[in-house]
Amino acid sequence: MTWITGIMSQESDITDAQLLEADIDTLQQMMSRGSLTSSRLVQFYLQRIEQYNHQGVGLNAVQYLNPEAVNEAHSSDVERATRGPRSALHGIPVLVKDNYETAGMPTSAGSILFAGFSPERDAEQVSRLKAAGAIILGKTTMHEFAYGITNQGSRYGSAKNPYVPTRNPGGSSGGTGAAIAANFAVVGMGSDTCGSIRIPAAQNNLVGLRGTQGLSSRTGIIPLSSTQDIAGPLARSVKDLARVLDATVGFDPVDPQTAESVGKLADSYYAQLAPMNSARVGVLVDWMRQDAADEPVAGVVRAGLAKMVEQADWQVQDLDTTNLVEVMQQPLNGHFVLIHDFKQDINAYLQANPELGYADIEALLADGRVHASVIESLQASANMGDSTWATYWYERGRRDVIRRHLLSMMAQYNVDALVYPTIRRIAAPLGEEQMGTNCRLSANSGLPAISVPVAFIEGVPVGLELIAESWSEQKLLNLALSVEQTLMMRRPPPAMP
């Protein structure tokens, strides 16, 4: 305890200002030299959550705090003193989305229907974070059942965008995005079915990666679509994102999708980070602007790409995407498979967890308490039946067509990645419909995509998305690092100093 006592006496050397926006490496350096403890770091974030989430602007991004977080941080400090850190995440506070099963904490998927559900088990991603020594600080707001992108739900209401609190933070992992942007934890975990990591990253001035389908385990995450769901981090920097990937990706015998990742992962995404200058990227023109309201975002993305040409020696080429537009014409605006999956997947989850008290999706709807923003979607899923299976399997097959078309464009034009806005509109006002998502390109092809900050419009962050071939996460991280270091767009929300 002498070492701990000594550290506690030195903690005044580190100010709150030094902890704000501090990345994982910086925090580990502070803890290694004894000027910071995990206990102090947890207290710093708890104070910010109290100040800005519950009071002040009332961000409503964090909904449940781990009652053992302070004790776990103290144990982490003792372990560091006696045995050294387990990994780069040792003692680092992490927030997780409310659809991740987390022992000792409720897991409601943002729904009042699941209030009180608290399975005593951890999602695989949570288990891996804990094994790396991370502190699970709490659970974040999400769009109910992850079925939307404006972060509304019957359990907790709506989270706010920390940059312009009258606007939404994106979804469905909007609470995680808002919380990490506001410095409520170092990094956070989300899930992406069609944009639910990348959209909050774009609208909260963060970096977010949707990996190749199978990169990360889905075990213990309440499902939306088993063919499209994938877990992953949101972070304030590419380096922090890579640190979390190193701790969480890879094969999980309970999730057969992850078997495809074997032999295809980097030994360390963090160790192989290097800004990818002199890159060649192709602009998907029909995903830049589809009507006049898309022009402001398209304009700042093009301006950002122009700076990459000037300052990072990128080559940028507009691509004819007429054929791609035709390929992407699918039933229910490309969401048929997702809508069909949800009925099968949520029914299976309800049957595996009878304590929830609902037999199937029809029972969820009959309860009458789900948020208005998801009723139509849930009903669309409930309507899927025997007559829809033929269309379902046809659309599943068309995913290969979409993937091959994207890969063919990359090969034909000899580009390292394809680029477009993550979402073609800035964050909509709270309660209004959010338009402009480009989520389907990655979600419906299974190809990896990363969103990185590119600009601000009216104080609201805008993201640029890059997509490339399967298992090219390292290349995408390096491209994003080049954008990050060239444009330097990351800044904390001014309303939360």
- How many structural domains compose the chain? 1
List, in order, residues 6 or more apart from 400 with CB less than 8 Å away. Answer: none
pLDDT for 342 beyond 90: yes
- CATH number of the domain encompassing residue 247: 3.90.1300.10
pLDDT for 13 beyond 80: no
pLDDT for 1 beyond 70: no
Integer Cα distance of 392 and 164 in angstroms: 40
Catalytic site residue from 108, 172, 191, 216: 172
Cβ 440 vs Cβ 401: under 8 Å: no
Nearest to residue 398, comparing CAs of 318, 463, 337? 337
Q: 8 lies in a domain?
A: yes
pLDDT for 9 beyond 60: no
Cβ 424 vs Cβ 436: under 8 Å: yes
Q: End-to-end CA distance of the chain, in Å?
A: 34
pLDDT for 239 beyond 70: yes
Burial category of 48 from C-beta neighbours within 10 Å (exposed 0-12, middle 13-18, buried 19 and up): buried
Average the pLDDT over 198-219 and give the result: 98
Q: What is the pLDDT of residue 173?
A: 98
Q: 108 is written with which tokens?
A: 């409601």
Q: What is the pLDDT of residue 495?
A: 86
Nearest to residue 311, comparing CAs of 334, 289, 279? 279
Q: 497 lies in a domain?
A: no
Strands 207-210 and 449-457: antiparallel
Average the pLDDT over 207-235 and give the result: 98
Percent pLDDT > 90 in the chain is 94
Cβ 479 vs Cβ 417: under 8 Å: yes
Q: 417 is written with which tokens?
A: 């990645």
Q: What is the pLDDT of residue 458?
A: 95
Integer Cα distance of 331 and 11 in angstroms: 58
The reply to whether the predicted model has a pTM over 0.85 is yes
Integer Cα distance of 283 and 466 in angstroms: 10
pLDDT for 3 beyond 60: no
Q: How confident is the model at residue 6 (pLDDT cuts 50, 70, 90)?
A: very low
The domain in which residue 467 lies consists of: 2-487
Q: 436 lies in a domain?
A: yes
The alpha carbons of the chain give a radius of gyration, in whole angstroms, of 21
Sign for the pseudo-dihedral over CA of 118, 120, 125, 131: positive
Q: 223 lies in a domain?
A: yes
Q: What is the pLDDT of residue 2?
A: 32
Integer Cα distance of 376 and 370 in angstroms: 10
Average the pLDDT over 356-373 and give the result: 97
Taking only the tens place, the pLDDT of each residue in 72-92 is 999 999 999 999 999 999 999
pLDDT for 59 beyond 90: yes
Half-sphere exposure of 1 (CA within 13 A, CB side): 0
Taking only the tens place, the pLDDT of each residue in 138-161 is 999 999 999 999 999 999 999 999
pLDDT for 20 beyond 80: yes
Cβ 223 vs Cβ 229: under 8 Å: yes
Q: Is residue 97 flagged as an active site residue?
A: yes
Q: What is the pLDDT of residue 5?
A: 38
Q: Is residue 196 flagged as an active site residue?
A: yes
| Residue that the structure tokens 């904390």 belong to | 492
Average the pLDDT over 475-479 and give the result: 98
Taking residue 66's Cβ as centre, other Cβ atoms within 10 Å add up to 21
Q: 493 lies in a domain?
A: no
Integer Cα distance of 294 and 88 in angstroms: 40
Catalytic site residue from 39, 76, 97, 381: 97
Taking only the tens place, the pLDDT of each residue in 417-437 is 999 999 999 999 999 999 999
Integer Cα distance of 122 and 327 in angstroms: 39
Name the 3-class secondary structure at 28. helix
Q: 65 lies in a domain?
A: yes
Rounded (10°) angle between helices 2-10 and 69-83? 110
Nearest to residue 467, comparing CAs of 287, 268, 339? 287
Taking only the tens place, the pLDDT of each residue in 300-324 is 999 999 999 999 999 999 999 998 9
Catalytic site residue from 111, 191, 196, 261: 196
Q: 454 lies in a domain?
A: yes
Q: How confident is the model at residue 56 (pLDDT cuts 50, 70, 90)?
A: confident
pLDDT for 4 beyond 60: no
Q: Which residues are 230's β-sheet partners?
A: 192
Taking only the tens place, the pLDDT of each residue in 269-305 is 999 999 999 999 999 999 999 999 999 999 999 999 9
Nearest to residue 67, comparing CAs of 155, 20, 135, 159? 135
Q: 496 lies in a domain?
A: no
List, in order, residues 6 or more apart from 399 with CB less than 8 Å away. Answer: 337, 444, 445, 446
List, in order, residues 6 or more apart from 55 with CB less than 8 Å away. Answer: none
Residue 101 DSSP code: -
List, in order, residues 6 or more apart from 248 with CB less than 8 Å away. Answer: 125, 128, 129, 216, 217, 231, 232, 233
Q: What share of the chain is helix, strand, coil (3-state, %, to 5)?
A: 45, 15, 40
